[in-house]
């Protein structure tokens, strides 16, 4: 593949804070082309959780070209600061990592009004938008800093490692967090869906499938547990149970000595998640004397949220209204979850619309990007107005 010419830089903002609604206008429209070009460039680079370094290097290059002074922290997050003073800062983030292994072809297809390919919406366009949003928000010297952070470890078993580190090592107090999820335009996520992830393994005595047909099978024990887990629920709450991976056994004619699966338990509230975990634990431990079970926690995301009446939620909804975009209050699992756990207000917002996330056929619309950038910048402006 021939090397791509780097997209045009996004100028760093040095002007005063805006006094009217943030608008893409001519400047914003020009930025859309840069955002889309950067989205394509980033989405072509594999970045499974734990291997985000190649994408991080590209983001650092962009931000140097834009006039920022980026740095990489100990977790691998890339930071830049846009203006601001001594007050608490506003942290705007998007995640570098994806759910796709490097073996998946990272090909981006541009069609009429859309881009398609692995991670274009989750979250390549989110990362590509960070500098443009800062340019449009135009933070002035009288406000606290606006930090741009391209985070690592948001997906899968990354366990929000990047944003947790960022919040624990911010240069100044953090007033709020805005997590950008590329295809969330129209959603104002104020509820963080909590999750607990386990690797459950079963071990049995094994034996011949006929001669020792009465011996317990680890695969049978695992399959029985999976069937029961799939039906779990908590009354009055939204929950989900997903068995994402499973394996085990040694031969078709042998009673399995080992089997395992990985389960993702989610709920939209802390109490509901605790109930779900308790029920799941009882199911997976309900084995006979000859089967041993082990549960290893491989991930945990706290549930949390902010009130609809909070300053940040109101700013986000108002920004959508000013752009003529219908806003829905939603629940999701994003980098914002880590902010809730730290007692910091947070929302997750989008840049455009799309579907198919976590599949190679993922796609996003290009036309709404201008509105999405404007909504994000206006949310920042309105929230800052409320702080003054």
pLDDT tens figures, 284-295:
999 988 999 999
| DSSP-assigned states of every residue in 142-197 | TS--EEEEEES--SGGGTTHHHHHHHHT-SS-EEEEEEE-TTBTTEEEEEEPEEEE
Q: How confident is the model at residue 49, as a pLDDT?
A: 97
- Residue 8: pLDDT band with limits 50, 70, 90: very low
Tokens of 309: 């009446």
Q: How confident is the model at residue 16, as a pLDDT?
A: 31
Residue range 79-108: average pLDDT?
Answer: 93
CA separation for the pair 92, 94 (Å, rounded): 7
Buried b (16+ CB within 10 A) or exposed e, 39-52: bbbbbbbbbbbebb
Strands 174-180 and 89-95: parallel
Tokens of 165: 């580190």
Sole residue written with tokens 């010419």: 5
Q: What is the pTM of this model?
A: 0.88
The residues pairing with 178 across neighbouring beta strands, listed in sequence order, are 92, 347
12 pLDDT above the threshold of 60:
no
Sole residue written with tokens 């390919």: 117
- Residue 334: pLDDT band with limits 50, 70, 90: very high
Structural domains of the chain, ranges and CATH numbers in brackets = 25-192+303-387 (3.40.630.10), 194-301 (3.30.70.360)
Counting Cβ atoms within 10 Å, is residue 336 exposed (0-12), middle (13-18) or buried (19+)?
A: buried
Whole-number average pLDDT of the chain = 91
Q: How confident is the model at residue 139, as a pLDDT?
A: 63
Q: How confident is the model at residue 83, as a pLDDT?
A: 78
Residue range 354-375: average pLDDT?
Answer: 96
User: How do residues 33-53 score in pLDDT, each as one tens digit?
Assistant: 999 999 999 999 999 999 999
5 pLDDT above the threshold of 60:
no
């Amino acid at each position: 593949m021939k090397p791509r010419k780097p997209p045009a830089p996004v100028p760093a903002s040095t002007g005063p804070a805006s006094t009217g609604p943030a608008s893409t206008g001519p400047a914003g429209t020009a930025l859309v082309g840069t955002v889309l070009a950067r989205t394509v460039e980033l989405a072509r680079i594999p970045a499974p959780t734990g291997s985000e370094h190649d994408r991080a290097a590209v983001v650092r290059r962009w931000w140097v070209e834009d006039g920022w002074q980026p740095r990489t922290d100990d977790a691998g997050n890339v930071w830049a600061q846009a203006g601001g003073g001594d007050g608490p800062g506003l942290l705007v983030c998007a995640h570098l990592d994806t759910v796709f292994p490097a073996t998946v072809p990272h090909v981006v297809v541009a069609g009429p009004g859309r881009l398609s390919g692995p991670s274009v919406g989750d979250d390549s366009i989110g990362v590509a938008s960070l500098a443009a949003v800062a340019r449009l928000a135009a933070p002035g010297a009288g406000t606290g800093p606006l930090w741009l952070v391209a985070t690592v470890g948001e997906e899968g078993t990354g366990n929000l490692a990047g944003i947790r580190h960022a919040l624990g090592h911010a240069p100044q107090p953090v007033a709020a967090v805005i997590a950008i999820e590329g295809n969330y335009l129209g959603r104002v996520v104020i509820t963080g869906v909590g999750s607990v992830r386990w690797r459950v393994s079963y071990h049995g005595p094994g034996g011949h499938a006929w001669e020792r047909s009465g011996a317990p099978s680890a695969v049978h024990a695992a399959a029985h547990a999976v069937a029961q887990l799939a039906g779990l629920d908590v009354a009055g709450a939204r929950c989900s149970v997903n068995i994402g991976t499973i394996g085990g056994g040694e031969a078709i004619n042998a009673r399995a000595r080992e089997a395992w699966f990985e389960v993702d338990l989610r709920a939209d509230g802390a109490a509901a998640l605790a109930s779900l975990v308790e029920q799941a634990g009882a199911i997976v431990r309900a084995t006979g004397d000859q089967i041993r079970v082990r549960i290893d926690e491989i991930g945990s995301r706290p549930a949390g949220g902010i009130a609809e009446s909070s300053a940040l939620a109101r700013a986000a909804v108002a920004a959508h209204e000013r752009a003529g975009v219908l806003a829905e209050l939603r629940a999701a699992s994003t980098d914002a979850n880590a902010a809730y756990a730290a007692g910091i207000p947070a929302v997750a917002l989008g840049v455009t619309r799309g579907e198919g996330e976590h599949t190679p056929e993922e796609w996003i619309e290009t036309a709404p990007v201008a509105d999405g950038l404007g909504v994000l910048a206006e949310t920042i402006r309105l929230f800052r107005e409320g702080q003054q």
